[in-house]
Structure 1
Amino acid sequence: MSTQGGSGPVPFVLPGPPPMRDTVEGWERWRVTRRDFMPAPRLSLAEWRLLSPRKKSLHDLHRSATHANLQLLQTPMADAVTKLLHGRVMTNALKHKPTTRAGVMVTGGGYQGKTETGCEILATFEDIWRELHRHLNPDAVPGARDLHVPVAYVQTPVTAKPKSLCKAILNFYGAQLHPRMDLPDLLRQVAASLHDHGTRALLLDDITRLRLHRADDQDTLDLIRAFMSMHVTLVLIGVDIPGSGLLREGRHDPDTGQVTFPPAQQSKVHGREATQTERRFDLVELDRFRYETDEEIAAWIDHLTGVEDQLRLLKAHRGMLTAGRMPEYLFGRTNGVVGLLERLVEDGCQEAIDSELECLTEPLLEGIAITLGDPSRDPGAGEIPDTPPTGSDTAAKDRPVKRKRPRNTVFDDHGPAASTGT
C-alpha cells in the first residue's frame, strides 16, 4: 500500500506501541517485525508539488517516520562484535559437553549502538536456530511442546540485588512468582525456565548499573557468573566495563582477549553442584568512529554515505553529508558517536521539512541542539554521553555579558518611616 492513494490507514504507522523486548512476547514481536518498516518513496520536488494537499501531508509524515526509523548500519567496529558474538553463541549452542559456556562482554560508550547491535546479532542467531529446528524446541519434554525461546533479553535492574535480577529474568518468561520465594527457589526456577524453553543465549543489558562497592551488587555479579553453569551463553552489555569495576576479580589475557573469573560462590544450581571451573568472558569493544588517519576518515564518510542514502529530503543532493566540510563538521558535533549522529540527523531533517529548506546544511544543523533526556538511561552509569557544543553555543559562551545599567534611585520615595529615621 502506498501513501499516494486511498483513504485507509497509513502503512508506515505500525499497529500498537513499540515492542518492549524484556518479555517473551515483546522480544518475539520485535524480532519478526524488525525489518517490516517501509521507507517513504523518493520523490523530487516537482513530483511532490503534483500531489494533492492530503497526499503531500501523508508523504511528509511518511518522510518523518523514515527519518525516525533509520536502519542500523554495519560499521567496522560492529563487524568485530558481530564476528565474535555470533560465533560464540552458535558454537556454544552446538555444544553437548556439560562444560561451562564462555560468555561475551560488549563494552563501549553511551549511545554507540551496543544494545541494538547485540540484539540484532542475537535475533539473527535465533532466526537461524529456529529454522534449523523447524521452529520447535529441541529440548522439549516428550509429549509436550514447551514454548521455544532461544534468546532471552533482560535489563539489569537499576538497584540490582540477586532476587531482583532473578525476578527480572523470570518476568521475561512470564513465570508465576510466589511472594515468599527465597533466593535458592528463584535460582532453581531461573535454571528451569532457561532449560525448559531451550534458551541458548541470555543477554543482560546495562550491566554496569552494578556498583561493586555495594554488597548486594557483588552478590549479584557472583550470581551472574553462576548462570554460566546453566548451559547458556551469557552476554553482558554495558558502558565502559573495564572502568566500571566489574573486571576487578578477573584476569585479562592480552593474547586471547579473554577475561577469566574465579568460580562463583553459588554452590548449587538447579539442584546440581555447579561446575567449579573458572568462568571465561570474551571482552569486545564497540568503539566510536575516529577521525585521524585516512582509513578512519574513509570509514566515517562511508557511514555518512549510508545515512545519506536513507534520507528523503526533496532538495537532497549527492554529497549532502559527505562533501566539503560536512564530514568534519558532523564529526565535531557528535565525536563520532553513531547515536548522537542519528539524533542530529533526525532532528535536522524534521527542521528541514518544517522550514521548507528540504536539505541539511551546516547553518541549519547549527540551530539543532542534541538533547539526551532519556529517563530509561542511567547517567551515573555513563549511559548518557557528553554532547559537544554547537558553534552558536560556543559563541554565546565567549560573548561578553552586558551588565544592566543600575536604576537611578535619587528621586525614590522611601515613605514616612524613612524620613523619621524609624
Structure 2
Amino acid sequence: MTPSPPAPPFVLPPDPADRQTADGWRQWRLHRHDFVPAPRLTRSEFTELSRREQALYELHREATHSNFPLQETPMSRAVAELMRARLRRGALKQNPTTRRGLIINGGGCQGKTETACEVAAAFEDSWLALHHQLHPGAIPGTRDLHLPVAYVQTPVTAKPKSTCKAVLDFYGVDHKRMDLPALIRAVRRHVHAHGTRVILLDDITRLKLHRLDDQDVFDLIKGFMDMSATLILIGVDVPASGLLRDAVRDPRTGDWVLPAPPAGTPASEGAETQHQRRFTQVHLGPFGYTSAAEVTAFTEHLMGVEDHLRLFDAAPGMLTCGDMPAYLHERTGGVVGLLECLIEDGAEAAIDSGEEQLTVELLDQIAISVEGLPNRDAAAGEIPLLPPRHPAPTVRPPVRNTVLDDRTSAVTLPG
C-alpha cells in the first residue's frame, strides 16, 4: 500500500507589517520573501491526506491565492531600473547639493507602491551590507540607528504639517506643538542622524492644495529635496496636481525643474543651497493589448499568475490559451491590481463550487470590487475606473498570441 504523502508544512502568515514605522519597515524588508506557497497536489493526493491534513492544505492554498508574488512587468522594469540608478547616484554623492528626485506616476492599482518599496528594500539590503549594518556617518562612540530608507504614506486629506508628522512618526519622534518650520527642521535632523538616503513619499497627491496652503506645500517639497536624501514621490498625476507649482520641463532631459529659492530664504524652509531642484518622471501604466509584443507581455504575466494557482483541475494554459487573455484584459483594462482581485475572487469561487478551474463562464459571474481596497483614497484618484462590462462578446484585437511559439526556428537574415 502506497503511504500517504506527508502533511504539507504550513504556518499562518504573520500580521502585515506597518511599513510606516522604522520597526515595521525593517520587519517587512527582512521577511518580504518568506511566504512559501502551498505544494502542488493532485486531487487523488489530496484525498489520501487525513482530514486534519486536508483542512491545513485548504488553508494553505487559500493563503497562497491571497499572496500573489510581485511580478516584474515591462512597465515596472523600466521604473525599477531608473529608480535603482537614481538611488545609487544619490547615495554615493558626497557634496551637499540637492539630489535629483523621482516621480513615479500612474493610475490606481498599477503596482507603483510595491515596485518602489521592493527597489528601496533591495537598495537598503545592499547599503547595510556595504557598511556592515552600521551608520557610516555616526559620531564615534555612539550607536545611532541606521535607517537608509524612510517610507511614508501621506495621510488622507493631508496638509504639510501632518505630512511632516507622518515622517517623524516613522522615526518614532514626539512632534507635539511644533509649527511647520520646526517640523521641517526636525525631519532634517532625524534624516541626517539616521543616515537616511531615500525618502519615499507615497500617495503624495493626497496633499490638498488650498490657497492658504499652496506655498507651504511647495516649500515642503523643496525642503524635503534638501535633506541629502533622494526623494521619491509616488502618486496619481503628480504634475497636474499642482504640487510642483512653477516647475518647468527641461527640454534636454525631460526633468521637471523647480526654481531655486530666493536669496535669503530661511534654512528652516529647506533652502540649504541655491541649486535648482529636479525631478525625473516615470510612468507606470497598465498592460496594452494592441500589438503582438503587448499581447505577449500580458500573456507571459498571466503565465506567472497561473503558476501561483493551486486548483485541482487547472489545465496548462488555463489563463493563457484561447480567448482567456483577451477576456482578462477586457475585464481589467490591463491593470495588474484589478487582475489580481479578479483572479483571487475567481479562485475562491472555483474552490467553493468544486469546479477547481477558472473559466470565462465562472469569471463572468464575478464583479470586480474596488470599493473595499484598503488605504485607498478615491478623491486622490487611487481607485481605478473599472472597464465597462459588455453583455455580448466584443471583437478581439487582430493580433496573434506568440508567447508559446517555437523560438528555435530559422531566423530570416537582413538582406
- For the criterion TM > 0.5, the same-fold answer is yes
Pairing of 1:287-298 with structure 2 (within 5 A): 287-298=285-296
CA distance in structure 2 between the aligned counterparts of 1:70 and 1:272, rounded to whole angstroms: 41
Give yes or no for contact 2:184–2:269 (8 Å, CA) kept in 1: no
1:184 to 181, 184, 191: 181
Give yes or no for contact 1:137–1:146 (8 Å, CA) kept in 2: yes
> What is the CA distance between 1:218 and its match in structure 2?
4.1
Pairing of 1:21-420 with structure 2 (within 5 A): 21-177=19-175, 179-264=176-261, 267-269=265-267, 274-373=272-371, 374=373, 376-391=375-390
Give yes or no for contact 2:101–2:232 (8 Å, CA) kept in 1: yes
> What is the CA distance between 1:241 and its match in structure 2?
1.8
Give yes or no for contact 1:43–1:314 (8 Å, CA) kept in 2: yes
> What is the CA distance between 1:54 and its match in structure 2?
1.6
> For 1:291, what is the secondary structure of its paired residue?
coil
> What is the CA distance between 1:272 and its match in structure 2?
8.5
Give yes or no for contact 2:133–2:146 (8 Å, CA) kept in 1: yes
Question: Cα distance 1:216–1:42, how it changes in 2: closer, same or farther (>3 A)?
Answer: same
CA distance in structure 2 between the aligned counterparts of 1:375 and 1:60, rounded to whole angstroms: 25
Question: Cα distance 1:69–1:4, how it changes in 2: closer, same or farther (>3 A)?
Answer: farther
CA distance in structure 1 between the aligned counterparts of 2:272 and 2:142, rounded to whole angstroms: 28
> For 1:260, what is the secondary structure of its paired residue?
strand
Question: Cα distance 1:375–1:132, how it changes in 2: closer, same or farther (>3 A)?
Answer: closer
AA aligned to 1:296 is E
Bigger drift between 135-144 and 206-215 goes to 206-215
> What is the CA distance between 1:377 and its match in structure 2?
1.1
1:420 match: none
CA distance in structure 2 between the aligned counterparts of 1:271 and 1:216, rounded to whole angstroms: 14
Give yes or no for contact 2:223–2:269 (8 Å, CA) kept in 1: no
> How far does the alpha carbon of each residue in 1:144-175 deviate from its partner, in whole angstroms, 9 at most, with x for none?
01001000011112232222121111111001
> How far does the alpha carbon of each residue in 1:116-160 deviate from its partner, in whole angstroms, 9 at most, with x for none?
100001001000100100111111121101001000011112232
1:417 match: none
AA aligned to 2:7 is G
Give yes or no for contact 1:166–1:190 (8 Å, CA) kept in 2: yes
2:12 match: 13
Question: Cα distance 1:213–1:182, how it changes in 2: closer, same or farther (>3 A)?
Answer: closer
2:406 match: none
User: Unaligned stretches of 5+ in structure 2?
Assistant: 394-415
CA distance in structure 2 between the aligned counterparts of 1:63 and 1:273, rounded to whole angstroms: 53
> For 1:82, what is the secondary structure of its paired residue?
helix
Give yes or no for contact 1:189–1:270 (8 Å, CA) kept in 2: no
Q: How many percent identity over aligned positions?
A: 54
Bigger drift between 56-65 and 34-43 goes to 56-65
> For 1:215, what is the secondary structure of its paired residue?
coil
**Count of aligned pairs between the two proteins:** 388
> What is the CA distance between 1:246 and its match in structure 2?
3.0
> What is the CA distance between 1:226 and its match in structure 2?
1.3
2:405 match: none
Question: Cα distance 1:199–1:355, how it changes in 2: closer, same or farther (>3 A)?
Answer: same
CA distance in structure 2 between the aligned counterparts of 1:53 and 1:213, rounded to whole angstroms: 61
Query: What CA RMSD, in Å, does the superposition of the two structures yield over aligned residues?
Result: 2.1
> What is the CA distance between 1:229 and its match in structure 2?
1.1
> What is the CA distance between 1:12 and its match in structure 2?
3.5
> How far does the alpha carbon of each residue in 1:365-384 deviate from its partner, in whole angstroms, 9 at most, with x for none?
01111111235211111100
> What is the CA distance between 1:276 and its match in structure 2?
1.6
AA aligned to 2:145 is L
Question: Cα distance 1:160–1:384, how it changes in 2: closer, same or farther (>3 A)?
Answer: same
